[in-house]
Structure 1
């Protein structure tokens, strides 16, 4: 059976639907963390995540599901994300921000996310990632 195409901007009511729902959000998160593990260009980002990525995979999937307009899985389990506060223990500078953004952009390209959606997400991801920085320039 062929995989159904995700709805486009004219038919989707949320970025979650436009991306393709639960399975596509999970695929994006999995590819993001696979790339982080495989690509030397993301070494500092990977080092910040400890020995295993399993917990991080689930938390990003749960968070992105709600952030994209789907089910609020993260909030249901942990309450408000408090992103900046939860990331304060980790060194997040320009390099880590840029590696996170590049890794996510690569994951979106490899999964053939609609270019219009990818561009919108990249803008939003940049704003959030830059706000998360806790190290100076």
Structure 2
């Protein structure tokens, strides 16, 4: 009996390590320059070098590539690591604005683009720790 061929991971479909680095660099460049992202930019250190490195490591594993973040830092524990920051719907939307623009500029495969948008939107929603009352 033969095994069906394995489907490529989102990491592979995106283009691997170089593509993840390009995506992360563009994301943080946008965060650093878009007025709509000023709130989330203020949550970061002056230098974005460490943030860029950590997001590359995280996304690499999260997308199905090597588990670089886990190897270097252990379990991501995203909510715990983001707990010191006020992350409301506006912050979530600002983060997604930067990520969506970076994805729009880099990801040509429509199916992959939709998948990444939906998956990252769920992650961003999960990071919310402040909810305005209706």
Q: TM-score, normalised by structure 1?
A: 0.88
Query: Which residue does 2:70 correspond to in 1?
Result: 75
Aligned length: 128
Unaligned runs of 5+ in 1: 1-10
Query: Which residue does 2:10 correspond to in 1?
Result: 15
Q: Following TM superposition, by how much is the alpha carbon of 1:50 offset from its aligned partner in structure 2, in angstroms?
A: 2.3
Are the equivalent residues in 1 in contact too, given 2:14–2:107 (CA < 8 A)? Answer: no
Unaligned runs of 5+ in 2: 1-5
Aligned-CA RMSD value: 1.5
Aligned mates of 1:59, 1:123 — CA distance in 2: 21
Query: Which residue does 2:29 correspond to in 1?
Result: 34
Runs of 4+ residues over 3 Å off in structure 1: none
Are the equivalent residues in 2 in contact too, given 1:15–1:69 (CA < 8 A)? Answer: yes
Query: Which residue does 1:5 correspond to in 2?
Result: none
Kindly report which structure 2 residues correspond to 1:84-123, keeping only aligned pairs within 5 A, or say none: 84-123=79-118
Q: 1:59 aligns with which of 29, 54, 58?
A: 54
Q: Following TM superposition, by how much is the alpha carbon of 1:113 offset from its aligned partner in structure 2, in angstroms?
A: 3.8
Aligned CA distance change for structure 1 residues 130 and 29 (closer, same or farther; 3 Å): same
Aligned CA distance change for structure 1 residues 39 and 12 (closer, same or farther; 3 Å): farther
Q: TM-score, normalised by structure 2?
A: 0.90
Q: Following TM superposition, by how much is the alpha carbon of 1:12 offset from its aligned partner in structure 2, in angstroms?
A: 5.3
Are the equivalent residues in 1 in contact too, given 2:23–2:103 (CA < 8 A)? Answer: yes
Aligned CA distance change for structure 1 residues 133 and 30 (closer, same or farther; 3 Å): same
Aligned mates of 2:39, 2:7 — CA distance in 1: 36
